[in-house]
Structure 1
Amino acid sequence: MANGATFFDLPREIRDIIYDLAFADLDIPKHSNIHAERAVYTSTSAPLLYVHTQITEELQCLIYKEHKIVIPIQELSQYIKGEKTIDTNTDHVSHQRRLGTKCIAVELIQTQDVYETDTSADEKPSSPIVDEGFWDDKGKECAKMITEALLNLKSSFPNVESVDIVLWDMDKAYFRVRDWKGPITALQSGWEGLRVFIDLYVFQYYDENAGDGGYNYIQGWDRQYKKQKDVHFTATNLEWEEPTKNDEQYHGQVMNPAAWELLEDEDPPSDSDFEGKLYLYSTTVRPMYITCLTN
């Protein structure tokens, strides 16, 4: 480097290589809660960001390039019933965080039963009654609410290229593909070029009617989004372990929905061969901001 030259006289491509090397061993979160006001880094985790304003600006672009903004929806029914609202206000989100983010994720879960609301003037029953038909009536409303909230964020995150819809199925809500088909189509129509990734997590899923000539819950999702451009579906079957609140993670296997079609052949595979086709690879996942623990 010539006398008097500085680090900033290097081409930006060279500086980025140096930044990548400097950040290789740093523990910078890959996602952040949309409601968090703080940056994803601190002076302890990323001291280089506090050396020079230009370095800070250039490094923030790299940090948020792979960053994911997450909208956690805990107890989904409360949002559908109007007891809670999805907050899409981004005034507190930094300019670089909004400008650099390429992916928005919405993480959904229902861990509790939904109970009927007594609207009569009569005395309330001694014990609450589970509303068995709630999701039959509200499933599409739920999907529409989520996709409209995502569309509200379009102007705040101009460089977003993809959306992750993360569905944690605890057998307390029905995530039916027919409820989501229209809203996802509307989301992509309103957000040109957007790719949608749907991650469905089930616990100890088993199709007791496998091979009956129909198709199951997982196959329904898979078949729908094999047809739809820029929509990608993945299902993961998780083991149920009671994790601690401070270390909530699950082990499981990513599924191949097409494997069930093998059971409809004249010579269906053995159980071991079938499982070898059904499960693609093992994985360990951790909820981003919701909790899977029941009360």
Structure 2
Amino acid sequence: MPLYAASRVQKAREELAGRLREIRKDAGITARELAVRCQWSESKSSRIENAKTPPSDADIRAWCRACGAGDQAPDLLAANRQSADAHVQWRRLQRTGLRRLQESAGDVYQQTNAFRVYVSDVIPGFLQTPGYAAALLSAIANFRGTPDDVSDAVAARMHRNRVLDNGGRRFSFVIEESVLRYRLCSTEALAGQLGHLRAVMDLHNVAVGIIPFAAQRDVWPMPTFTIFDETRVHADTLAAASTLTQPSQVELYARAFARLSSAAVRGAAARSLITAALASLD
């Protein structure tokens, strides 16, 4: 395992061990008493608390039960199961080209019934046209110095986006108005993209909300994120792509999405914002 991956795994183990240690201390019991309640050796408790031995799911359930903290078990189990690739450096993801990156989440997309997507930077990938996607992915490849396979990456993105045609899946998008104005491609490509965005609003399984510049809001613009059903969140930063699966994490993002959604306009009001953005291209 590469050194950076190994260190990431160890850090995750140490964070989990620290949380288990805090639960024991909050319960007011010693490591010895915990071992008695869990029916294992005191040395095992010590190894787990000091991140020397990774706990099994059964160990975590027993630990929480012994400390009267059964309600914390789901989050800890999710953290324990989360793979070392849950927080993957973009450089690693993109070193083999952008096409592989587009294909990497295919299974997750096919297994999800309800998508909630908030974007503050670009048109959501689900809704991108080939022209807009090509300009965006070219900029990414240039910025990161990745292999130039933009044409294949665009084709892979368009293939992935066919999930939108499945009427049994629901998509809810919340977009900042600024996204409509960013010039990330040619005027012609942006006009086509905005026209496509307006057209997809007619799909029965797609809901598009746009937060106007002048909207009164109680939450701030945030980095882009996607919620898959009630089970996982993809949250991106400049340096990394994070997959969050702990129930408390998913709930936090769901609450943020609801707050952001409440500030968005829809229907005719949203279409008028798109129309205004189109008019500004003249």
User: What's the TM-score once normalised by structure 2's chain length?
Assistant: 0.26
Q: Give the TM-score of the pair, scaled to structure 1.
A: 0.25
Higher strand share: 1
Say which structure, 1 or 2, has more relative contact order (CA 8 Å, 6+ apart): 2
Query: Which has a greater percent of helix?
Result: 2
